[in-house]
Chains A and B, each alone.
Chain A
Amino acid sequence: MTAALAAASEDLLALADAVAARDPAPGRAIAALRRDGRTAFEASGLPHTGLEEWRYTGLSPLTALDLRLSEDDAQIDRALLERVATPVFACGLAVFANGRPRNALWGVPAGDVELASLREADPGSLACGVDPKLHPLAALNGAMTEDGVLVRIPDGAQLEHPVHLVFVSSSPGTSSVSCPRVVIEAGAGCRAVVIQDHVCVGGGPAHFTNAVTEVAVGENADLAFALVQREGEADIHASNLAVRQERDSRFASHVVTLGGRLVRNDLTVVLAGPGAECVLNGLYVGTGERLVDNHTLVDHAVPHGTSHELYKGVLSDASRGVFRGRVVVRPDAQKTDATQQNPNLLLSDGTEIDTKPQLEIHADDVKCSHGSAIGRIDEDALFYLRTRGIGQRDARALLTRGFAAEILGALPGEALAEALTADFIARLSGGTGA
């Protein structure tokens, strides 16, 4: 570990202790989370590029920050929310400012969905999905957890509207860190859409969001989940999403990364019951000197599981993308059907993509395929559009949008797809988008 990483790790531990000092009685579950997280993070510290999982992703943009604990003093009202987190789904809305709930802005869902802060809900135990010993940043999240949100969808519930979790970050004056935690329990046979939406307000110095989301998808449940990262160009974002699927359940994730100077997403899906099916979609956009890293792991633990993963990258300027997708098919997991694709569109010469799709198959009666691709704007298509009067710049934007459409078009809800498409185009054409 470099001296900078060691020093930053010490500073973060001190911040974790400061959390404990200013909030000594968070409830049983969070207290346990903090204790385990602190122990694990103290042992590991921040990850370094000598680790295989972190080979291409150095944390120097993070260690360069002088981080403080965040305060929740940002001015946020409904109008602001409508602007930065459009479209706002008011029927089931939870809003957090720098990791802490802003109850005045919450919208209680119709029907019997439970939407509560973790402290209020006090679910007894947390951290069923992410092992802090394997994930240093998730350990840090645990050590610093102040609050989070529990989304509990009862058995058989068919939700008409999405549940919208908005995390607003702001760092007025000085860089700060927040560690939100999300727990989603989708009951047997339910159907729901949950959107975890990270936005920022006020510009200002970089904010470090370090989120952990744990999802349990019950038998025969159908859950669509979108993780939207539309923060500022200087912000740092780490997310760890752990999903466990029971028998015959269907889960789709849509991880859309539009902002952030440094973004690292870990996604683990365990197909724990036979007949479970998951679709993992991802879109990441790089501009400037940004780095977006997606590490995914699909664990086919039992037979008759299906997983279809498609992560698309659009990189311009001197940005970098990292994709590592592992699919593990365990010895018992016969009749597994797994695909994994990582196409990348490079818009400039200075970009870099490190992509590594990886199949580990220990069963013999399976159907698996994977691949990655790197391409540029199709010159024939560009010329075709220009002969129809569409200018060079607009034609490139149109083709780029076409490349991303497969992911953006599959998002739950047309309004969300439209808003993120507009943001996507704005970011690539140099607008802030946020």
Chain B
Amino acid sequence: MGDALLELRNLHARAGEAQILNGIDLVVRPGEVHAIMGPNGSGKSTLACVLAGRPGYTVTDGSVRFEGRDLLELEAEQRAREGIFLAFQYPVEIPGVTNNYFLKASVNAVREHRGLETLDAIDFLALAKEKMEIVEMPGDLMGRSVNEGFSGGEKKRNEVLQMLLLEPKLAILDETDSGLDIDALRVVANGVNALRDENRSMLVITHYQRLLDYIVPDQVHVLSEGRIQRSGGKELAHELEEKGYGWIEEGASA
């Protein structure tokens, strides 16, 4: 067990005016995959937003360290360049900007920060093609406006494609499985698994156990009322599947 990649201590946060996170402690080491499960309203998405630096979310207490640095003092774009990636639950449509143009701008912004040479159109296209095969994405999606008119599955594939292109140190998947049929889920999971290695960590936020059959976690945490109520191995996910979230919530209020 090496040093923590991500370390949350007593994290309290508000979304707008509402207090949502009430003291989260979590340590993610390089190479680990942690699943965060929980009922609706438990604070899963707020956690993702706080980690990604979304405006409107305020940390009221506690700390977040990424590679030993205070993450909270970084802007969203700086976090991305440092290696944090958030796959959105609802990817945003951007009319008038082609997927190709957007992805190239993104990859080059991150490459520049890492001291790598920026890619020209031809090199970028070659890289994109290679990654698109992994998520079985049709080529014509590159020439279309970002996420505009994409099906639910195409949007999620596009998220995973971006992750493959940016090669983050920490990937946060916010309900990437929701709304996907089993075939699309398999493709998305393949994309995520293609990126797994001993240095890369993942925080997989999900409502359903199903995703964890494909992306097998090292640890599972159950979030309720803004706190981690239970942590365990992957078998905890199965236990939740059988007993439902009511089981945890009873424990939380007891």
Contact = CB atoms under 8 A, between A and B. Distances in A.
Contact of B94 (A386, A394, A399, A404): A399
Given A384-B94, A392-B77, 16 more contacts: A379-B55, A386-B76, A386-B77, A387-B53, A388-B106, A388-B110, A388-B166, A389-B77, A389-B110, A390-B77, A390-B105, A390-B106, A394-B105, A401-B96, A405-B96, A405-B97
A380 B86 CA distance: 14
A403 interface: yes
Interface string A391-434: 11011001101111110010000000000000000000000000
B54 to A, nearest CB: 6
A394 B97 CA distance: 13
Contacts of B235: none
B145 A402 contact: yes
21 contacts: A379-B55, A380-B92, A383-B55, A384-B91, A385-B102, A386-B53, A386-B76, A386-B77, A387-B76, A387-B77, A387-B85, A388-B109, A388-B166, A390-B77, A390-B109, A391-B77, A394-B109, A398-B101, A398-B102, A403-B96, A409-B96
Contact of B80 (A386, A398, A406): A386
By CB atoms of chain B within 10 A, which of A380, A390, A409 has the most? Answer: A390
Contacts of A385: 94, 102, 106
A425 to B, nearest CB: 13
B166 A381 contact: no
In this complex, the member of A380, A385, A404 whose beta carbon has the largest number of chain B beta carbons within 10 angstroms is A385
Contacts of A389: 77, 80-81, 106, 109-110, 113, 166
Contacts of A381: 92-94
B55 A388 contact: no
A379 B166 CA distance: 22
Contacts of A390: 77, 105-106, 109
Nearest to B114: A389
By Cβ-Cβ distance, the 6 closest A-B pairs, closest first, are A402-B96, A405-B96, A388-B106, A389-B109, A402-B97, A386-B76
Contacts of B52: 387
Contacts of A404: 96
B124 interface: no
Given A389-B80, A392-B75, A398 B110 contact: no
Interface in B60-108: 75-77, 79-81, 85-86, 88, 91-97, 101-102, 105-106
B80 A387 contact: yes
Interface of A: 378-381, 383-392, 394-395, 398-399, 401-406, 409
A384 B106 CA distance: 11
Given A399-B94, A402-B145, A405-B97, A386 B81 contact: no
B162 interface: yes
Contacts of B102: 385, 388, 398
A398 B95 CA distance: 10
Given A401-B97, A402-B96, A384 B166 contact: no
A57 B81 CA distance: 47
Contact of B97 (A380, A387, A392, A399): A399
Nearest to A405: B96
Contacts of B94: 381, 384-385, 398-399, 402
A384 B76 CA distance: 9
A391 B109 CA distance: 8
Contacts of B162: 388
A392 B76 CA distance: 9
Interface string B162-186: 1000100000000000000000000
Nearest to B172: A387
A383 B75 CA distance: 10
B50 to A, nearest CB: 13
A381 B93 CA distance: 7
A348 to B, nearest CB: 18
A100 to B, nearest CB: 40
Contacts of B81: 389
B97 A398 contact: yes
A60 B76 CA distance: 45
A387 B76 CA distance: 6
A388 B109 CA distance: 8
Contacts of B77: 386-387, 389-392, 395
Contacts of A383: 54-55, 76, 92
Nearest to B77: A386
Contacts of B109: 388-391, 394
Contacts of A391: 77, 109
B102 to A, nearest CB: 7
A383 B54 CA distance: 7
A403 B52 CA distance: 26
B113 to A, nearest CB: 7
Contacts of B92: 378, 380-381, 383-384
B33 to A, nearest CB: 20
Contacts of B95: 402-403, 405-406
Contacts of A386: 53, 75-77, 80
A378 B96 CA distance: 13
Interface string B121-145: 0000000000000000000000001
Contacts of B79: 387
Given A383-B54, A383-B55, A402-B145, A388 B80 contact: yes
Contacts of A403: 95-96
Contacts of A392: 75, 77
Contacts of B101: 398
A398 B146 CA distance: 12
B176 to A, nearest CB: 14
